[in-house]
Chain A
């Protein structure tokens, strides 16, 4: 029994039963298949993170985001006063997280690619684009860059999904995706 010492002191010389060998072989092979699937997806799949990232001073990041927002602002969101920014396709697009908002609101064109920059000015935040369901961790002092290509039009929510204090559940941003103008 498992609560007693094994009958054979030299347990590593025990013969293996056939069905155990077969299961171990299948399980091992399945592990290799799953391992290979991740690698293959880097070659053939369209959803891979770039892993491009920089260390950055939050103040500099805020300046860059504000510069973009001033340059490409097209309107304000209702009565909130939050700028809606429509940068030209192919450009560098910035969004910042801070207690407790995602800023600014972006308006992107469907089927166009953008280099999206994400960083936080204070604590960690979670960039959760809904209902598309893209979830990224946003750190202060680190600027993550990835190329995104919106594939559907509509209004998307950016929910903070990393707990960031008492106002965490109020931290919602927006991305609009529109047809090409």
Chain B
């Protein structure tokens, strides 16, 4: 390892040179990436197991937890994976995309440690509150239902920590620019991470605006919180934070395609504009949760729920072509040029980073993206609001999309940042498929059950101890059983991930410079993938076909749901 000393003004900063990429790696940034990523994986493990318990309880034939534990487990599942796993990992990504990719020292590493401590204390506090049993209010904690004060306090501390981490990221961008650590514009992956960080600031501000008064209400200092206003502002955090995830995992898709295949974006302009559309329009998504609420006008709903005429959806559809297109172009340049799909058949499917990335891309688009637009259509929402269709949708976006992408990225972070060889490579190769197929099942079967009307967040759909009952159609029980089986499969994939990653970090062979050069994980000789898009781009018939299939599926499914709606009792 070569250690380089920083400019004289920052004698405490030490860099090493990455043997694979030639990038300068700030030791402090590297440590912070490690601790954030490790804590993220711990929360993934905890939250994932709560998720398994939830799915097994919702399988009527198994029904493993009693009611109070079910609602507790569901609250913990939401907080631990949707918030703590994803955001800790995102903070690691922010430091990676700024300090590492820009050859720069991390700004204010002490603040980054403060951010880490606040986030950790906040996450633990919220977990304690939930496990004490007085805060089974679901992740959304809709007022006037009340959690213990330290539940809200934990979330506030976590949010403050995250905000500090975002500013460390912005600070690093400024330093890199001032010290000229890179040439030209920032890389696309950093641009995507910046998009995520900008949306995060908006999101965390919304969170502060609603959670601080709610905390004061929980300790009796405020008398009343309006439930409709609460939902509107809470989802300014709750849904916008999912847009952080989208930006972050799209950046990860680009990063993995670049590192594993040397893929270049077809056009920097197109990809960056698509990211800008996220910043401009994704925040309107709070409206997705207000479509069947009292006191909201249809004009407001239509404009906001469509992200101002679907401009943010347009951003995602653009990435949906750019990324497979970049992969296809890179593969064709490397000689896999026969027919329509040789590039895809001969892709490195045995590399878990690539396999996870591509599965994530396909499932996010086909399952998560299409269902999200349908669910967020003003009138169609009344068919699906608060049914299992909703978690079906968002498991396709944040689990199949974000979580699988982050897992895939971890297979690169372990050798490059932790500098360890992966252990149990066979298991690692299977992991994206086990987890991906499991999650696809979870999403599809929950959406199926939701289409049949099954309520989300419900302990007993047989209503065995209720005064009045209702019988769901028998197909529902099949769906819930298949959902349980899929959850078991996903759990096996999740455990495989944790075992491989933790095993590699603890027991993996150390990867010194010689080892890294002998078996690189980043494709070298990327120069062969010559110039950018525009007129030089190859023909991409495979990608065009994939995009056409996607588009047809989208249009068809969209109008099928209008057909369902037209069969419902007339309402006005």
Say yes or no: is B46 at the interface (Cβ < 8 Å to chain A): no
Inter-subunit contact A31/B463 (CB<8 Å):
no
Inter-subunit contact A16/B534 (CB<8 Å):
yes
**Contact residue among A39, A134, A138 (Cβ-Cβ distance under 8 Å from B302):** A39
* Chain A residue with the shortest CB-CB distance to B315: A27
Using Cβ atoms and an 8 Å threshold, which residues of chain A touch B187?
1-6
Minimum Cβ distance to chain B for residue A179 (Å): 15
Inter-subunit contact A134/B568 (CB<8 Å):
yes
User: Which bucket holds chain A's interface residue count?
Assistant: 35 or more
Using Cβ atoms and an 8 Å threshold, which residues of chain A touch B68?
166
Inter-subunit contact A20/B292 (CB<8 Å):
no
Inter-subunit contact A168/B458 (CB<8 Å):
yes
- Besides A2-B265, A47-B566, 8 more A-B contacts (Cβ < 8 Å) are A20-B267, A20-B270, A34-B377, A82-B468, A122-B144, A130-B470, A165-B145, A170-B465
Say yes or no: is A26 at the interface (Cβ < 8 Å to chain B): yes
Contact segment of B1-9, B115-123, B255-263, B493-501: B255-263
Say yes or no: is A53 at the interface (Cβ < 8 Å to chain B): yes
Question: What is the bound-complex CA distance between A49 and B291, given in angstroms?
Answer: 9
Question: What is the bound-complex CA distance between A133 and B384, given in angstroms?
Answer: 8
Inter-subunit contact A134/B382 (CB<8 Å):
yes
A interface residues with partner B (beta carbon < 8 Å): 1-9, 11-17, 19-20, 23-24, 26-28, 30-32, 34-35, 37-39, 41-42, 45-51, 53, 77, 80, 82, 101, 105, 118, 122-124, 126, 128-144, 146-152, 157, 159-166, 168-174
Using Cβ atoms and an 8 Å threshold, which residues of chain A touch B189?
2-3
Question: What is the bound-complex CA distance between A9 and B269, given in angstroms?
Answer: 11
Inter-subunit contact A160/B455 (CB<8 Å):
yes
Q: Which of A32, A50, A170 has the most CB of B within 10 A?
A: A170
* Chain B residue with the shortest CB-CB distance to A152: B569
B interface residues with partner A (beta carbon < 8 Å): 21, 67-68, 71, 101, 136, 138, 142, 144-145, 182-189, 226-228, 254-255, 257-259, 262-272, 292-298, 302, 306, 309-311, 313-314, 317-318, 321-322, 326, 373, 377-379, 382-387, 452-453, 455-461, 463, 465-473, 526, 529, 531-535, 537, 540, 544, 547, 551, 554-555, 558, 562, 565-566, 568-572
Known A31-B306, A133-B453, A139-B228; contact A172-B463, beta-carbon cutoff 8 A: yes
**Contact residue among B227, B310, B469, B531 (Cβ-Cβ distance under 8 Å from A35):** B310
* Chain A residue with the shortest CB-CB distance to B183: A5
Using Cβ atoms and an 8 Å threshold, which residues of chain A touch B468?
77, 80, 82, 105, 157, 172-174
Inter-subunit contact B470/A48 (CB<8 Å):
no
Question: What is the bound-complex CA distance between A15 and B267, given in angstroms?
Answer: 8
Inter-subunit contact B21/A34 (CB<8 Å):
no
Known A19-B540, A23-B317; contact A130-B267, beta-carbon cutoff 8 A: no
Known A6-B188, A135-B384, A163-B138; contact A47-B268, beta-carbon cutoff 8 A: no
Using Cβ atoms and an 8 Å threshold, which residues of chain A touch B572?
46, 48, 50, 146-147
Known A3-B255, A8-B268, A41-B562; contact A162-B142, beta-carbon cutoff 8 A: yes
Question: What is the bound-complex CA distance between A101 and B565, given in angstroms?
Answer: 27
Inter-subunit contact A161/B228 (CB<8 Å):
no
Known A3-B259, A5-B184, A134-B382; contact A161-B537, beta-carbon cutoff 8 A: no
**Contact residue among A14, A46, A138, A142 (Cβ-Cβ distance under 8 Å from B570):** A46
**Contact residue among B71, B258, B382 (Cβ-Cβ distance under 8 Å from A3):** B258
Inter-subunit contact B566/A14 (CB<8 Å):
no
Question: What is the bound-complex CA distance between A6 and B322, given in angstroms?
Answer: 15
Known A11-B269, A168-B459; contact A3-B101, beta-carbon cutoff 8 A: yes
**Contact residue among A1, A4, A27, A45 (Cβ-Cβ distance under 8 Å from B314):** A27
Inter-subunit contact A16/B270 (CB<8 Å):
yes
Minimum Cβ distance to chain A for residue B191 (Å): 9
Using Cβ atoms and an 8 Å threshold, which residues of chain A touch B263?
1-2
Using Cβ atoms and an 8 Å threshold, which residues of chain B touch A164?
145
Question: What is the bound-complex CA distance between A15 and B455, given in angstroms?
Answer: 50
Using Cβ atoms and an 8 Å threshold, which residues of chain B touch A35?
302, 306, 309-310
Inter-subunit contact A47/B259 (CB<8 Å):
no
Using Cβ atoms and an 8 Å threshold, which residues of chain A touch B71?
163, 166, 168
Inter-subunit contact B185/A6 (CB<8 Å):
yes
* Chain B residue with the shortest CB-CB distance to A120: B227
Inter-subunit contact A20/B266 (CB<8 Å):
yes
Question: What is the bound-complex CA distance between A31 and B303, given in angstroms?
Answer: 12
Minimum Cβ distance to chain B for residue A87 (Å): 17
Question: What is the bound-complex CA distance between A77 and B562, given in angstroms?
Answer: 36
Question: What is the bound-complex CA distance between A80 and B228, given in angstroms?
Answer: 33
Using Cβ atoms and an 8 Å threshold, which residues of chain B touch A123?
142, 144-145
Inter-subunit contact B457/A6 (CB<8 Å):
no
Inter-subunit contact A53/B295 (CB<8 Å):
yes
Minimum Cβ distance to chain A for residue B530 (Å): 10
Inter-subunit contact A135/B387 (CB<8 Å):
yes
**Contact residue among B313, B326, B568 (Cβ-Cβ distance under 8 Å from A47):** B568
Inter-subunit contact B470/A38 (CB<8 Å):
no
* Chain B residue with the shortest CB-CB distance to A119: B294
Using Cβ atoms and an 8 Å threshold, which residues of chain A touch B184?
5-9
Known A51-B296, A128-B455, A139-B293; contact A45-B565, beta-carbon cutoff 8 A: yes
Known A14-B268, A131-B473; contact A31-B310, beta-carbon cutoff 8 A: yes
**Contact residue among A16, A37, A160 (Cβ-Cβ distance under 8 Å from B562):** A37
